[in-house]
Amino acid sequence: MITPALSARAALDLDKIDYGGDKPQQEGRREIASRLAYDRSRDDTLIGMHIVNVILIVVTATLYRFWAVTRVRRLVWSKTRFDGEPFEYTGNGLEIFLGFLKVFAVVLLPIGVLAAVVDASIGIPTTMEELATQELYAGAQVVVILSLLEMGRFLSWRYRLSRTRWRGIRGRIDASVWRYAGVALLTVAAWLFTGTLLKPVADAMRAKFVLSRMSLGTQKVQYFGGDVILFGRWFMVAFLSGVVVAIIATAAIPSEDVMESVMAADDINAGEAIVGRLVIALVIAYVLIMWLYFWYRAGFWRYVAEHTRLGGLSFRFHASGTQMFGLWLGNMLILVFSVGLLAPLTWRRRIEFLARHLEVLGALDPAMIRQAAEDDGALGGEGLVGDFDIA
């Protein structure tokens, strides 16, 4: 377990750029873990930039969001370092904007037109066949749109990685989005048709697909994870979530007799008290379920980290579910109380959390990491994802 103080000192050491060539890794230094660091020095600039971005986004009817996210990423990337070297973000707003327009024209427009045509040609179904066609189409539409959103997430990862450099070398994910479509479909099906029970399988498949195709220049990421993992843990989360809901519902929902007497008496105060109690119960249930969920999440990332290698590097993730939950809760509170204006603090908390809890072991041989050809496939931008999903 790495203490924050230790990792902060390690980051400080590494911040001192020496202008010598690469030194061979010293034996003792391998055990100093967190080599990821976040430089807080220009955080006021970042917050100012974010506030200007929010204003410009409002003024331009949200069109500026593509450029806003680009400016922010350029700064955040440059503040984040690995082994003392900052990342560089080379994307530009126009390409994300054009990618968004392309997805709109090629995907959303046809789906919308098809939906209108099917609706207009059937109208009120008069036969079972027409009813079945309509229902089938509506169902297919939900699956297709959710899959498209999932594919958008993949496009976004691929795009961001292809626009990220470290020591001048580009990252990449070497797979077309259409090959990811199968994973996307399974992910959606796992949610829709198995009551989320297959979620760990979908998560594992997604991690495997993406990580095993990821690389830094010519240096490929190796991923050794399996397909069926963490079932027990996820099952426990689902089961305990059910228990939480049952207990809180029993405690907060008044009996029918009480409801009837309140309704009969037309007692507004009593009615409000019931609603108030229900809202509080809902919030408590949500927070408790998220806490359970992060227990699964932490286990998942621990598993993924332990099964990933990059050249001579291996990884360990030490955060517990409760720590991840704390990060999430803190960020939620920051966003709520600052009306989103302090979002940069939540990005910083996320990166610093990762820096604190991700232990990186071993050494990279920089001379062996060569630049790979430009990833033309990633030129299409981020698809439907044009939001503030920064880090």
Partner 1 sequence: MTAPWAAKDWSVTSTSPETTGSAVLYDGASAARHRVIVTIRADRLSLAPSDERAAGPDCPLSWPWSGVHTLDPRSDGHVFSTDRAPDARLIVADAAIATAIQAWATGDSPAGHGPGFWTRHRRAVIAIGATAMAFLLITLLIKPITEGVAALLPEDAGAAVADQAIQTLAEEHRICTGDDGLIALRSLTNRLAGAAGLAPPVLTVLDLGMANAGALPGRRIVVMRGLIDDAESAAEISAVLAHELAHVVHRDPLAGWIRGDVINLLTSAIFGASAVGDAGQAVTALLLDASYTREQEARADATAIDMLRRTGLTADGGARFFQRLAKQEAVPATLRPVVRLLTTHPGSAERADRFAAAATGVESGLTEAEWAAVRAVCG
Q: Which residues does 17 contact at the CB level (< 8 Å), separation at least 6?
A: 84
Q: Does 387 bind partner 1 (CB under 8 A)?
A: yes
State how beta strands 214-216 and 169-173 pair.
antiparallel
- Taking the complex as a whole, the smallest distance from the CB of residue 259 to partner 1 amounts, in Å, to 26
- Pick the closer one to partner 1 by CB: 38 or 293: 38
Among residues 12, 55, 94, 333, the one that binds partner 1 under rule CB under 8 A: 94
Tally of CA atoms within 13 A in the half-sphere of 223 that contains its CB: 20
- Taking the complex as a whole, the smallest distance from the CB of residue 216 to partner 1 amounts, in Å, to 8
Query: Under rule CB under 8 A, which residues in 17-46 are in contact with partner 1?
Result: 17, 19-22, 39, 41-42
Tokens encoding 256: 């029918």
- Taking the complex as a whole, the smallest distance from the CB of residue 219 to partner 1 amounts, in Å, to 8
Tokens encoding 293: 């969920």
Tokens encoding 258: 């009480």
Q: Does 272 bind partner 1 (CB under 8 A)?
A: no
Among residues 35, 50, 74, 199, the one that binds partner 1 under rule CB under 8 A: 74
What is the helix (H) or strand (E) element at residue 308, kind and residue range?
A: strand 308-310
- Taking the complex as a whole, the smallest distance from the CB of residue 369 to partner 1 amounts, in Å, to 4
State how beta strands 164-166 and 313-317 pair.
unpaired
Among residues 53, 70, 156, 331, the one that binds partner 1 under rule CB under 8 A: 70
**How many residues belong to the site for partner 1 (CB under 8 A)?**
60
Tokens encoding 316: 């360990």
Q: By rule CB under 8 A, what string of x and - marks binding of each residue 99-138 to partner 1? A: -xx--x---xx--x---x--xxxxxx--------------
Q: Does 176 bind partner 1 (CB under 8 A)?
A: no
Q: Does 60 bind partner 1 (CB under 8 A)?
A: yes
**Cα Dmax for the chain:** 83
Tokens encoding 138: 């509506």
Give dist(CA 345, CA 331) in Å, integer.
Answer: 8
- Taking the complex as a whole, the smallest distance from the CB of residue 230 to partner 1 amounts, in Å, to 31
- Taking the complex as a whole, the smallest distance from the CB of residue 22 to partner 1 amounts, in Å, to 6
Among residues 35, 50, 79, 220, the one that binds partner 1 under rule CB under 8 A: 79
- Pick the closer one to partner 1 by CB: 66 or 234: 66
Point out which span in 73-81, 204-212, 254-262, 355-363 binds partner 1 (CB under 8 A): 73-81
Tokens encoding 250: 């029993």
Q: Does 97 bind partner 1 (CB under 8 A)?
A: yes
Q: DSSP string spanning 209-241? A: HHHTTEEETTEEEEE---SS--HHHHHHHHHHH
Q: DSSP string spanning 96-132? A: HHHHHHHHIIIIIHHHHHHHHHHHHHH-S--SHHHHH
Give dist(CA 84, CA 363) in Å, integer.
Answer: 13
Q: Does 156 bind partner 1 (CB under 8 A)?
A: no
Three-state DSSP state, 362: coil
Give dist(CA 160, CA 381) in Å, integer.
Answer: 9
Tokens encoding 6: 């230790």
- Pick the closer one to partner 1 by CB: 169 or 229: 169
Q: DSSP string spanning 169-184? A: EEEEE-S-HHHHHHHH
- Pick the closer one to partner 1 by CB: 119 or 227: 119
Cβ atoms of 158 and 375 closer than 8 Å = yes
- Taking the complex as a whole, the smallest distance from the CB of residue 109 to partner 1 amounts, in Å, to 7
Give dist(CA 146, CA 144) in Å, integer.
Answer: 6
Among residues 47, 167, 340, 391, the one that binds partner 1 under rule CB under 8 A: 167
- In this structure, the number of other CB atoms found within 10 A of the CB of residue 24 comes to 7
- Taking the complex as a whole, the smallest distance from the CB of residue 264 to partner 1 amounts, in Å, to 27
Point out which span in 28-36, 178-186, 281-289, 367-375 binds partner 1 (CB under 8 A): 367-375
Q: Does 355 bind partner 1 (CB under 8 A)?
A: no
Contact residues for partner 1, defined by CB under 8 A = 15, 17, 19-22, 39, 41-42, 60-64, 66-67, 70-71, 74-75, 78-79, 86, 88, 90, 92-94, 97, 100-101, 104, 108-109, 112, 116, 119-124, 165-170, 216-217, 364, 366-371, 384, 386-387
